[in-house]
């Protein structure tokens, strides 16, 4: 399966059905009067986050989505059938952006969460609706209201608890293969990883998801190398494991390069908890490894772990450190969610449905502005 994390799609809800002009024609019923029914409502377009999807590759082969229109009304006061709702499944972690690629319309972070992107048009009134004491035989029926249409961008940001960052060939894919059942491509040349990979770590009775993104180079925040597209996949991570290749000549410069790109990218990456680790310990002598660790700790100003993903030396402490931060982040998220539920006493029962604020309509309680 190919990986695709961005796609542009066209959405169109269904038009409403037309109203009907009809009159009763039964025998022995004089002046039967109007009986034209209303048109049916057009179908909505809904985007839903589902499990078991981790790519937007399906939207490479289909970019246009149109919901069916409502049926027209008919005689005997029969309302037309409403158009069926069109549900578009996307992976969890998908952002829905406006055509300008900046305005966020929805952020789907939970399985089952939905957002109504385009509402179907209302059906037109039949002539029965216009019957009154002064107009007992109306011949007016309204056409259905048109649906909504728009172009939107879908951008996937993987949901992971921990993220692996570092320069190309720092050993990120080797770590992922060593601690999970994922099988990323591993080779002794840079940019072996061309798209993010996910794996599940089982450690000390806990489970957490770890993400490996392609290596960063200087200028990545401006689009150099594989650019900023893959930096977004670690924005949702609770902790970052910053790998520095121990075989490099200047480990301090390697750490500063990646750190600068994280800070320049923004979106809270620089504020995330960072665990710095010296990789490829099996390729260093004990004396050289101690020297590299000391130098790296002096540059980054924090304790540095050293390990080898090939031999497994020092790998357990790294996983325990990641697990502790993941547990803390989950506990904080649970407390925040509990506090939000406590404060929100008037919660909508359909809490998973999101209505994007495309055009704010003033409530009836607000005073209209005077010109």
Kindly report, residue by residue over 28-49, the tens digit of the pLDDT: 888 888 999 999 999 999 999 9
Query: Identical fold at 1-156 and 162-333?
Result: no
Ligand-binding site membership of 44 (annotated): no
pLDDT digits (tens, 9 = 90+) for 92-112: 889 999 999 889 999 998 888
Angle at 7 between CA 6 and CA 10, to 5 degrees: 155
pLDDT value of residue 212: 82
C-alpha torsion angle, residues 31, 32, 37, 38 (rounded to 10): 40
pTM above 0.95, yes or no: no
Ligand-binding site membership of 193 (annotated): yes
Ligand-binding site membership of 135 (annotated): no
Ligand-binding site membership of 213 (annotated): yes
Separation of alpha carbons 69 and 39, rounded Å: 10
| CATH of the domain spanning 162-333 | 3.40.50.300
Ligand-binding site membership of 172 (annotated): yes
Separation of alpha carbons 245 and 306, rounded Å: 10
Q: Tell me the three state secondary structure of residue 91.
A: strand
Separation of alpha carbons 230 and 33, rounded Å: 66
Ligand-binding site membership of 314 (annotated): no
Ligand-binding site membership of 296 (annotated): no
Ligand-binding site membership of 294 (annotated): no
The domains of the chain are located at 1-156, 162-333
Ligand-binding site membership of 282 (annotated): yes
pLDDT digits (tens, 9 = 90+) for 124-172: 999 999 999 899 999 999 999 999 999 999 988 877 888 888 888 788 8
Its CATH class, for the domain covering 1-156, is: mainly beta
Of the candidates 241, 223, 224, 246, the one whose C-alpha atom is nearest the C-alpha of residue 318 is: 241
Ligand-binding site membership of 310 (annotated): yes
């Amino acid at each position: 399966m190919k990986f695709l994390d961005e796609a542009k799609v066209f959405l169109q809800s269904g038009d409403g059905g037309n109203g009907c002009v009809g009159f009763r024609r039964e025998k022995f019923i004089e002046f039967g009067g109007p009986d034209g029914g209303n048109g049916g409502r057009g179908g909505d377009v809904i985007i839903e986050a589902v499990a078991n999807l981790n790519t937007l590759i399906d939207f490479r082969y289909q970019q246009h989505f149109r919901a069916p229109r409502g049926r027209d009304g008919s005689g005997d006061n029969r309302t037309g059938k409403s158009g069926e709702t069109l549900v578009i499944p996307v992976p969890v972690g998908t952002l829905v952006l406006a055509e300008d690629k900046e305005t966020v319309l929805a952020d789907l972070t939970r399985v089952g969460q939905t957002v109504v992107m385009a509402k179907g048009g209302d059906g037109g009134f039949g002539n029965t609706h216009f019957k009154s004491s002064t107009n007992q035989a109306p011949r007016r029926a309204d056409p259905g209201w048109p649906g909504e249409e728009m172009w939107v961008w879908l951008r996937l940001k993987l949901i992971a608890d921990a993220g692996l960052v570092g320069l190309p060939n720092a050993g990120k894919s080797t770590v992922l293969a060593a601690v999970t059942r994922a099988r990323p491509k591993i080779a002794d040349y840079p940019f072996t990883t061309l798209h993010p990979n996910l794996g599940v770590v089982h450690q000390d009775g806990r489970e957490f998801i770890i993400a490996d993104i392609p290596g960063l180079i200087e200028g990545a925040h401006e689009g150099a190398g594989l650019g900023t597209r893959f930096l977004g996949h670690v924005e949702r991570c609770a902790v970052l494991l910053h790998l520095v290749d121990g075989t490099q000549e200047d480990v301090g410069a390697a750490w500063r390069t990646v750190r600068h790109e994280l800070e320049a990218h923004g979106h809270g990456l620089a504020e995330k908890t960072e665990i710095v680790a010296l990789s490829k310990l099996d390729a260093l002598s004990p004396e050289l490894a101690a020297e590299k660790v000391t130098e790296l700790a002096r540059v980054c100003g924090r304790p540095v772990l050293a390990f080898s993903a090939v031999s497994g030396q020092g790998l357990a402490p790294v996983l325990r450190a990641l697990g502790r931060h993941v547990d803390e982040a989950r506990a904080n998220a649970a407390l925040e969610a509990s506090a939000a539920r406590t404060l929100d006493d008037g919660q909508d029962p359909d809490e998973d449905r999101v209505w994007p604020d495309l055009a704010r309509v003033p409530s009836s309680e607000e005073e209209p502005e005077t010109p």
